[in-house]
Amino acid sequence: MNKARAFNPFLCAKTDKLLELIAEVQTQMSGYEAFHQTRKRARRANDQVTFERTVEAILCDLCSVVLEPTDHDCVHLPLSNKTLRTKSRYKGTALGKTLPDILKIMAAPEMDFVVVEKGHSSFKIVDDELNVAFAGGQQTIVQPGPKLLSRIERFSITRGDIGPAPEEEVIILRAPKHHSNSMAEYEEYEDDQTTLALRDQMIAINAWLEGADISCSHQDVNPTHRRLRRIFNNSDFAQGGGSLAGFGKPCPRMNVRSISSSRVIVVWSSTTDR
């Protein structure tokens, strides 16, 4: 049985060898499109950037699935138009309207870079008037295909070749919880002087962390995934802001105690931030 985790669209290549692997896959995908004439014209410049970034994100996350020390062997992701065609500062380029077509090419028999199990939804009749309600379902599952697995081995890809992409939003605003045990949803917001200043601070911290000499012997912590985010609660930038997430750890609780030109002091506890 597949053990899927949520797709992370915010991973990118950090080394030349992973970039070479991605370029090889993109070249083969372009050859597939040309041979099967799946496109009437070349992509516009912006569309080509989106295409390349989406392929990179998929490959990097599937490489991560293979290499990370967990029992996950695939990822699940949404392919509904409602999700992919909705604009959000939290989504990332890869969760866009071109994602289904890109996965279709990557999963084609000639490509075999990914294996796709399409998602499904089920509904039930709830009254005598035959009205229906959503009764559950499963998102689309994507796992590494044979050709990707062979390239991970051939290019000697490791966790250190993968890192966080700079497109990920680092200032998170969460709506009020519906009840105490629920997860707060992310809320859209318009930038102003406050959010711009907060983002500049986080960019400075992340830039320092990117160049810092950080190592960790704990197998659950990937020191190359060191991008931090700042979270605010209850639709209010005056509430929260002290908790950050990073280092490849699922929802750790971190607090930045001080920052200077030479060091950042971060306190990390095992308590999850809900």
Higher pLDDT, 16 or 218: 16
pLDDT bucket at 243, cuts 50 / 70 / 90:
low
Mean pLDDT of the region 68-72 = 85
Cβ count within 10 A of residue 159: 18
- pLDDT at residue 250, rounded to an integer: 40
pLDDT at 201 over 80: yes
The answer to which of 1-15, 50-64, 122-136, 244-258 has the lowest mean pLDDT is 244-258
pLDDT at 105 over 60: yes
Q: In the predicted model, what is the mean pLDDT of the chain?
A: 84
The string of pLDDT tens digits covering residues 146-180 is 999 999 999 999 998 999 898 999 999 999 988 87
According to DSSP, residue 270 is labeled: S
Give 241-247's long-range contacts (Cβ < 8 A, gap of 24+): 241/198, 243/273, 245/273, 246/164, 246/209, 247/216, 247/221, 247/222, 247/223
pLDDT at 128 over 60: yes
- pLDDT at residue 254, rounded to an integer: 45
Encoded tokens for 32? 């597939």
Higher pLDDT, 233 or 130: 233
What percent of the chain stands above pLDDT 70?
A: 78
| Contact status, residue 273 vs residue 251, Cβ threshold 8 Å | yes
| Contact status, residue 106 vs residue 114, Cβ threshold 8 Å | yes
- pLDDT at residue 171, rounded to an integer: 94
Instruction: Kindly report the pTM of this predicted structure.
Output: 0.81
- pLDDT at residue 122, rounded to an integer: 67
- pLDDT at residue 68, rounded to an integer: 87
The answer to which of 159-163, 186-190, 248-252 has the lowest mean pLDDT is 248-252
Mean pLDDT of the region 220-231 = 76
pLDDT bucket at 270, cuts 50 / 70 / 90:
very low
